[in-house]
Amino acid sequence: MQMLMTRSFVVVLALVGITTLSGCNVRGLFTSYGDDPAWVDPNAAAAETAAAGETGGPGKAIYGRICAACHLGSGKGVPGNNIPPLAGSAIAQGDARKPIGIVLHGFRGPIERNGVQINGQMAAWKDQLSDQEIADVLTFVRSSFGNAGAAVTPDEVKAVREETASRTVPYTEAELP
Ligand code: HEC
C-alpha cells in the first residue's frame, strides 16, 4: 500500500514537473518573438497606426500599408535593426525635397541618429507610388508622431521626380537633394 502511494506521488510530481516545464517553454516562445525587434508584423504595425489616433488623411493608409512594416506604426523605427525613427527625424520634417527624394529613390547608410549608428537600405518607391501618394504619405509622416513639418503637395513631388529622373541608386545622406 505504502509502495503504491509513493508511486502515485512520484507520478503526480512528474506530471507537475512536465506541465511546469512545458508552460515555461510556451511562455519562452512568446517572449522571444515578442521582444525580438527584428520580427515585425506588418498587420500589427498597421493596427498600431490606427490605434495611435493620428489625424491621418489619405496618407495614413499608405503609411500603414507600406512604411509601418519597417518604421513601425509609432514611427519609432527599430534603430538597433538599422531602421531609423521618423518620429522626431530632422530629415522627415525638414526641407521636403529630402524626404521626397528618399521615397522616390531610396536611402542607404551609414547614418547616425540619436547617437545610434544605422547602416541600412531603404528601397525606391518611384515606380509604385504616384506623386499624389508620395505627397499624401509624407504629409502624414510630417504631421504625425509629434512631427511638425508642412504638408507636401503633388507638384513638389513631381518637380523632384523630374529633376532626379536619371537617378538609379538610393541616396546616401551626402547626396540628398
Ligand atoms: C523595408 C523597410 C523600409 C520601408 C518599407 C520604408 N523604409 Fe524608410 N528607411 C528604411 C531604412 C533602412 C532607412 C535608413 C537607411 C540608412 O541606413 O540610411 C530609412 C530611412 C527613411 C527616412 C530618413 C529618416 C532619417 O532621419 O534619416 C525617411 C524620411 C523614410 N525612411 C521614410 C519612409 C517612408 C515615408 C516610407 C513609406 C513610403 C518608408 N520610409 C518605407 C527602411 C524602410
C-alpha cell at 19: 506541465
pLDDT at 2: 54
Residue type, 150: A
**Per-residue model confidence as pLDDT tens digits over 118-139:** 999 999 999 999 999 999 999 9
pLDDT at 55: 58
For the chain, how big is the Rg over CA atoms in Å?
24
CA dihedral 77, 82, 86, 90 (to 10 degrees): 150
C-alpha cell at 2: 505504502
Q: Ligand 1: residues within 6 Å at CB?
A: 66-67, 69-71, 82-84, 86, 89, 91-92, 99, 102-103, 107-109, 111, 113, 118-122, 125, 137-138, 141
Distance between CA atoms of residues 82 and 138, nearest Å? 21
Residue among 89, 102, 112, 142 to mutate when testing ligand 1 (max atoms within 8 A of CB):
102
Long-range Cβ contacts of 59-67 (<8 Å, 24+ apart):
59/133, 59/135, 59/136, 59/137, 59/138, 59/139, 59/140, 59/141, 60/140, 60/144, 62/129, 62/133, 62/136, 62/137, 62/140, 63/137, 63/140, 63/141, 63/144, 66/125, 66/129, 66/137, 67/137, 67/141
Please say whether the beta carbons of 61 and 47 come within 8 A. Answer: no
pLDDT at 15: 42
> By C-alpha distance, which of 49, 116, 45, 43 is closest to 79?
116
Mean pLDDT by 10 residues, the chain (177 residues): 52 43 43 47 55 68 97 97 98 98 98 97 98 98 97 98 98 97
- Residues of 27-62 as b/e, b for ≥16 C-beta within 10 angstroms? eeeeeeeeeeeeebeeeebbebbeeeebebbebbbb
- Separation of 2 CA from ligand 1 center, angstroms? 70
Only one residue has cell 504619405, namely 137
**Per-residue model confidence as pLDDT tens digits over 52-70:** 444 568 999 999 999 999 9
Only one residue has cell 545610434, namely 116
Residue among 122, 171, 172, 175 to mutate when testing ligand 1 (max atoms within 8 A of CB):
122
- Separation of 84 CA from ligand 1 center, angstroms? 7
